[in-house]
Amino acid sequence: MSDLAIPVGGQAHTHASHHPKHLQHHFHNSAQQFEASKIGMWLFLVTEILLFSGLFLAYFILQTRHPQAFIEAHHHLDRSLGVLNTIVLLVSSFTMVMAVQSSALNRIKPALVYLYATFILGGVFMCVKYIEYSHKIHDGLLLGNLFSYKGASVPGEYLFFSMYFVMTGIHGIHILVGMGVIAYLIWRTHQGMYSSAYYTPIDLTGLYWHLVDMIWIFLFPLLYLVS
């Protein structure tokens, strides 16, 4: 019976006593709680992937119906800013994984530095996005009925910008949520909540952050490199 995750009935499992602070009452030990949380997070990520799959499908349908409009419209995007943001997010993925690794090794100081770095890189991404968005807004290259750009040569260019704003907008919201969670982690780390014995929130936020990065890796070629 030694392979069981749970101690067997007779070995007294009493409430409250000798439970670590982070361990919720309905779990038997930290490992069980960690694994359950991890399953929960992966399932949540699956729902995120399916959410974005709907957007990707809508993109492909519209692009197939209006190939010329999509090619023409994507020239309005600034490729170099797109590349910059891709690099920013890739580096932030690296700092995030280092934060997880450091906390696993109980190096809390470096973990904190990496969390700050990830937060700042997320902020840089949003600033670049802000610059891009304000150019588009200035030119009237907007979604749906807000599209007012006069120099469009192919009908249906606004469909590209509909997809551009919906997709990057929803992705941007995910970055903002991620930054909020990382800010919370920084606060809790300062309080000394995490150690190699318990760093589940950092680990799970890392998974989320990588997924959001990965979605951008798909968005970038779809929107900036249409051919």
Partner 1 sequence: MAEVLTQRTPAAVHQPEGNFLTENTGLLNWMFTVDHKRIGLMYFWTIMTMFFVGGVLALVLRTELLTPKTTIVSAEVYNQLFTLHGVIMTFLVLVPVIPATLGNFVLPMMLGAKDVAFPRLNLLSYYLYVFGALLAVGAIIGGGLDTGWTFYTPYSSTISGGVSIMTMGAFVLGFSSILTGVNFIATIHRLRAPGLSWYNMPLFVWGMYATAVIQVLATPVIGITMVLLLMERLFQVGIFDASLGGDPVLFQHFFWFYSHPVVYIMILPGMACISEVIPTFSHKPIFGYKAVAWSSVGIAVVSFFVWGHHMFVSGQSEFAGAIFSFLTFVVAIPSGVKVWNWLATMYRGSISLGAPMLYAIAFLLLFGIGGLTGLFLATVAVDVHLHDTYFIVAHFHYVMMGGTLIAFFAGLHYWWPKMYGRMYNEFWAAMGCLLVFLGFNGTFIPQFIVGSRGMPRRYYNYLDQFQFLHVASTIGSYVLAIGLVTMAAALIVPLFRKRYDAPNNPWGAASLEWTVSSPPPTHNFHHVPVVTHGPYDFKAARRLEQMESHS
Residues in touch with partner 1 (CB under 8 A)? 1, 4-10, 13, 15, 24-28, 32, 35-37, 39-40, 43-44, 46-48, 50-55, 57-58, 61-62, 65-66, 143-146, 155-156, 158-159, 162-163, 166, 170
Q: Which is nearer to partner 1, 77 or 98 (CB)?
A: 77
Residue 11 amino acid letter: Q
Q: Is-contact 176 130, C-beta < 8 A?
A: no
Q: Which is nearer to partner 1, 144 or 221 (CB)?
A: 144
Nearest distance in Å: CB 105, partner 1: 25
Nearest distance in Å: CB 102, partner 1: 27
Q: Which is nearer to partner 1, 119 or 158 (CB)?
A: 158
- Give the residue among 100, 60, 86, 62 at the shortest CA–CA distance from 182: 100
Nearest distance in Å: CB 75, partner 1: 19
Place of tokens 């749906």: 144
Q: Which is nearer to partner 1, 106 or 148 (CB)?
A: 148
Nearest distance in Å: CB 223, partner 1: 15
| Backbone φ, ψ for residue 93 (5° rounding) | -65, -40
| Backbone φ, ψ for residue 101 (5° rounding) | -60, -45
Place of tokens 């995030």: 96
Nearest distance in Å: CB 227, partner 1: 20
Nearest distance in Å: CB 10, partner 1: 6
Q: Which is nearer to partner 1, 47 or 80 (CB)?
A: 47
3-state helix, strand, coil in the chain (%, to 5): 70, 0, 25
Nearest distance in Å: CB 162, partner 1: 4
- Give the residue among 161, 159, 154 at the shortest CA–CA distance from 137: 161
Task: From residue 106, give the alpha-carbon distance in Å to each of 1, 40, 112, 124, 184.
Answer: 32, 24, 11, 28, 19
Q: Which is nearer to partner 1, 113 or 181 (CB)?
A: 181
Place of tokens 């974005």: 52
- Give the residue among 206, 200, 198, 213 at the shortest CA–CA distance from 52: 213
Question: Token pair for residue 225?
Answer: 């490199």
Distance CA 119, CA 185 (A): 10
Q: Which is nearer to partner 1, 1 or 197 (CB)?
A: 1
